Copies of this chain bind each other. A is one copy, B any other.
Amino acid sequence: MKHKVVVIGASGTLGKALTNALVEGGHEVVRVSRSAGDYRADIQHKQSLDILFKAIGPFDAVANAAGDVVAGPLEQLTDENYAFALGNKLMGQINVVRAALPYIADKGSFALVSGVLTDEPILGGTLGTVVNGGVEGFVKAAAHELPRGIRINCISPTVLTESVAYHPYFPGFIPVDGWKVAKAYERALFGVINGRIIRV
C-alpha cells in the first residue's frame, strides 16, 4: 500500500536516506526542510508548522528527521543553550505532532527521532540526553491518547556512518548506515506498532 508521507528535515543526512527509501518504496514524499524541498518550515517555530500542514493538506504519515541541540561541557551550558535545545528537538517535535494532527489521516502514523544519547551519554552531550528523554517520554505517553487510530513511534539511531564529523565524539560506538535507520522509520510508519522506541 502506498502512502503520502511528509518528511521533515528532508535535506539532512538522515532525511535524504529516508526520502530515498520512501521514494524507492513507491510512496509519495512531501519534502520539508528549513532551506530546500517542497515546503519550508522550521520545527522550532510552531507557527511555521501550522502554516505548513494547512498548506500540504491531507496525508497519511509524518516522519520527522529534524532536531538540533547544543553540545558542550555541562558547566559551560547557558540558559540559552537549554532553551534552544528544549525549543528545537523537544518542543519542535511535539509541535510537529500537534500541528499535523488536524490534517493527518485516520490510522495515520508519526515517527519522531531521539538517539543513542538517551541511554549512552557522551562527554558534552547532556542536552542530547535530556532532550531525547523528553522526546521518548512524549512518544510513550501520546501513543495512548492520539485519536482516530493514529500511531506514534520514535526512532533512536546511534551515530550515522555518513556523519563522519561526529564520529570522534562517539568513541567505540559502531555507526549505523542511514539506509538502516530509514528501514526503522518504515517499520514504524507502515507497521502496527505504537508507542515504541526503535533503537537502531
Report the copy number of this chain in the oligomer: 2
Q: Which residue of B lies closest to A119 (CB)?
A: B140
**Contact across chains for A74 and B119 when beta carbons are under 8 A apart:** no
Q: Which residues of B contact A94 (CB under 8 A)?
A: 82, 130
A132 within 8 A of B: yes
User: In the assembly, what is the distance between CA of A143 and CA of B119, in Å?
Assistant: 12
Binary CB contact string for chain A from 114 to 143 against chain B (1 if under 8 A, 0 otherwise): 000111010111101111111111101111
User: In the assembly, what is the distance between CA of A1 and CA of B184, in Å?
Assistant: 51
A56 within 8 A of B: no
User: In the assembly, what is the distance between CA of A133 and CA of B136, in Å?
Assistant: 7
Q: Which residues of B contact A133 (CB under 8 A)?
A: 132-138, 140
Interface size class of A (residues with CB under 8 A): 35 or more
A144 within 8 A of B: yes
20 A-B pairs (CB sep. < 8 Å): A46-B79, A73-B145, A74-B141, A74-B145, A82-B91, A82-B94, A86-B90, A86-B134, A90-B130, A90-B134, A125-B141, A126-B141, A126-B142, A129-B141, A130-B137, A130-B138, A131-B134, A131-B137, A132-B133, A133-B133
A23 within 8 A of B: no
**Contact across chains for A121 and B141 when beta carbons are under 8 A apart:** yes
Q: Which residues of B contact A137 (CB under 8 A)?
A: 118, 129-134
**Contact across chains for A134 and B142 when beta carbons are under 8 A apart:** no
A25 within 8 A of B: no
Q: Which 4 A-B pairs have the closest CB atoms?
A: A133-B137, A133-B133, A129-B141, A74-B145
A146 within 8 A of B: yes
- Shortest beta-carbon distance from A97 to chain B in Å: 9
Q: Which residues of B contact A141 (CB under 8 A)?
A: 74, 117, 121, 125-126, 128-130
Question: Which residues 61-103 of A sit at the B interface, judged by CB distance below 8 A?
Answer: 73-75, 79, 82, 86, 90-91, 94, 101
A149 within 8 A of B: no
